[in-house]
Chains A and B, each alone.
Chain A
């Protein structure tokens, strides 16, 4: 019997699972060999990648803004939904991240001198902690687009619905990560504060949170990039972001226009990617010099 390391077992399992799913989905290379019509379509679509439209491909009603301006406008709307959603999500994340961390009630950081405090740490805090964790998991486990579908069904189409649809799962994820980061912050300062007689809230907001802040900010930036992509996709549900125009142009067979919008989306994402990367590196430098 050959002894395989766990790592190798994991890889073998992955490959078997991959094969199983290909069989279950009936994926065979023949399925990729598309018919002449499909091939023509694919060829036409991808050759347009080299010359995206600078003008509309068909006549448009007088007064329509030029396509380049319109794509920038759609990019701006994409940005609006994403920023609104991320600012909501940060508020949610901070609030739930606080209640989902153990730092404000865990044994080593709280003195149990009064009966009240003992009751809180023994019963109330774990209950709040536990229910927040469940709430966070529910928020995270339903996809943004499904939240959008639910909110659309409940309220009809409304911009606030789109922002909230992105903010709920994003806020849940931020809360989870914030809580983990705060709990993993070195507790030396916090312990010193406890010994000096600080209350758990003081310890939390002065001893722990500021030290976790650069990591929290860096992760929030990463989530912002995800929100931007989701915001673009929400166009498929009728909101005025890039997805709306991608779908509309594609359905009218205006492939060059599709590529214009795709390139603008690419540009927007790449710009935010570059900017947040630079910001993250700057903040990383920051923590290293203070450490």
Chain B
């Protein structure tokens, strides 16, 4: 009886000592409120969701997903393969290749150019006295605020780049640059510079500073430190992020064609406009296969990097 009581007391005490944060609690309340408001005010439950016309439409749509030559007859492998082969030869393979190339070109561009912003955005490097304790009063206020400004502007720009979705970037750039692969690749690259720049800057800031500080103490310049120590130390993580972002690039590349550059998304949009739903569905599945392939390659490479530090 006595031990029971003391156990209960101990539990109660632990319960009272649990970490609490007012910010987290208010945030959760706010979140629940916004979720409730969204469901209530979003017009999600209009009465015509399942009216007769919509159901008819759905039924027709589901029927038209079956390959056209097979509609209204028994399934036949020869006909199905013939249909598949024709679409793939006409545009399927070419669209897949273009989409893949878009994703690779974009991520390589983003990866290379984000390195510059990474260094500028890293608070440990972009400062008057990187990695060393600052000697008091040695540096002018002006110099300090100049470096602070460099970091602030770089970070603000990175936030802006990643706040605008790839699709919007592509839409704007297509009008400005005309239809070619450039706007699509640049749109993907710009958004990913924003993300890679931020993630990599955090990696650089979290590096163990002993080696970097001793290099600086020996008089190495910022660029020398970056080339000789920061890059080799941060590389495995940066490559991880690179491949992780490449997966998303493949994902986005499948839809950016919808804006007009001939790739997978273009043909999907085209099939949709012509109401050829069987072909649209096939192309969407092709895109899914490409994405799964990309995920697989990325997972394998990331495992390779992880096991070879």
With A79-B38, A142-B287: A31-B182 Cβ-Cβ less than 8 Å: yes
Q: Is B168 within 8 A of A246, CB to CB?
A: yes
- Name the one of A21, A79, A137, A283 contacting B102, with C-beta atoms under 8 angstroms: A21
Q: Which of A19-42 contact B (CB under 8 A)?
A: 20-22, 24-27, 31-32, 34, 38, 41-42
Q: Which of the segments A10-18, A59-67, A110-118, A188-196 contacts the partner chain?
A: A10-18
1/0 per position for B234-277, CB-CB distance to A under 8 A?
01100100100000000110110010000000001100100001
Q: Is A250 within 8 A of B159, CB to CB?
A: no
What's the interface size class on B, roughly? 35 or more
Closest chain-B Cβ to A182's Cβ sits at a distance in Å of: 19
Q: Which of A222-258 contact B (CB under 8 A)?
A: 229-230, 232-233, 236, 243, 246-247, 250, 258
The residue in chain A whose Cβ has the minimal distance to the Cβ of B292 is A141
Residues on the A chain within 8 Å of B111, using CB: 14
Residues on the B chain within 8 Å of A154, using CB: 57-58, 61-62
A-B contact count (CB 8 A): 197
B203 within 8 A of A: no
The residue in chain A whose Cβ has the minimal distance to the Cβ of B251 is A143
Q: Is A156 within 8 A of B54, CB to CB?
A: yes
B29 within 8 A of A: no
Closest chain-A Cβ to B211's Cβ sits at a distance in Å of: 18
Q: Is B42 within 8 A of A143, CB to CB?
A: no
Q: Is A269 within 8 A of B163, CB to CB?
A: yes
B21 within 8 A of A: yes
Closest chain-B Cβ to A10's Cβ sits at a distance in Å of: 6
- Name the one of B39, B254, B304 contacting A143, with C-beta atoms under 8 angstroms: B254
Q: Is A282 within 8 A of B21, CB to CB?
A: yes
Q: Tell me the bound Cα distance from A61 to B273 in angstroms.
A: 32
Residues on the B chain within 8 Å of A168, using CB: none
Q: Is A83 within 8 A of B258, CB to CB?
A: no
B164 within 8 A of A: yes
Q: Is A21 within 8 A of B35, CB to CB?
A: no
The residue in chain B whose Cβ has the minimal distance to the Cβ of A142 is B288
Q: Give the interface SS of chain A, mostly helix, strand, loop or mixed.
A: helix
The residue in chain B whose Cβ has the minimal distance to the Cβ of A39 is B176
With A7-B308, A159-B44: A275-B27 Cβ-Cβ less than 8 Å: yes
Closest chain-A Cβ to B60's Cβ sits at a distance in Å of: 9
With A25-B98, A80-B38: A153-B272 Cβ-Cβ less than 8 Å: yes
- Name the one of A81, A140, A146, A163 contacting B284, with C-beta atoms under 8 angstroms: A146
What's the interface size class on A, roughly? 35 or more
Q: Is A27 within 8 A of B304, CB to CB?
A: no
B105 within 8 A of A: yes
Q: Is A34 within 8 A of B57, CB to CB?
A: no
A285 within 8 A of B: yes
Q: Is B292 within 8 A of A137, CB to CB?
A: yes
1/0 per position for B41-70, CB-CB distance to A under 8 A?
111111011000010011001100000000
B301 within 8 A of A: yes
Q: Is A17 within 8 A of B44, CB to CB?
A: no
Q: Tell me the bound Cα distance from A279 to B49 in angstroms.
A: 37
B172 within 8 A of A: yes
Q: Tell me the bound Cα distance from A291 to B14 in angstroms.
A: 13
Residues on the A chain within 8 Å of B252, using CB: 143
- Name the one of A83, A250, A282 contacting B172, with C-beta atoms under 8 angstroms: A250
The residue in chain A whose Cβ has the minimal distance to the Cβ of B263 is A25
A58 within 8 A of B: no
Q: Tell me the bound Cα distance from A172 to B102 in angstroms.
A: 25
Of B23, B242, B281, B289, most A-chain CB atoms within 10 Å: B23
The residue in chain B whose Cβ has the minimal distance to the Cβ of A240 is B43
Task: Identify 11 residue pairs between A and B in the complex whose beta-carbon atoms are under 8 Å apart, listed by A's number.
Answer: A21-B100, A26-B180, A45-B172, A142-B288, A143-B251, A149-B268, A155-B49, A160-B45, A229-B163, A246-B168, A290-B18
Top 5 nearest A-B pairs (CB, nearest first) are A18-B108, A21-B101, A141-B288, A269-B163, A25-B181
Given A84-B42, A232-B168, 16 extra CB contacts under 8 A: A6-B305, A32-B177, A32-B182, A83-B35, A84-B38, A146-B268, A146-B284, A155-B57, A159-B44, A159-B46, A160-B45, A233-B167, A236-B167, A273-B163, A279-B24, A290-B18
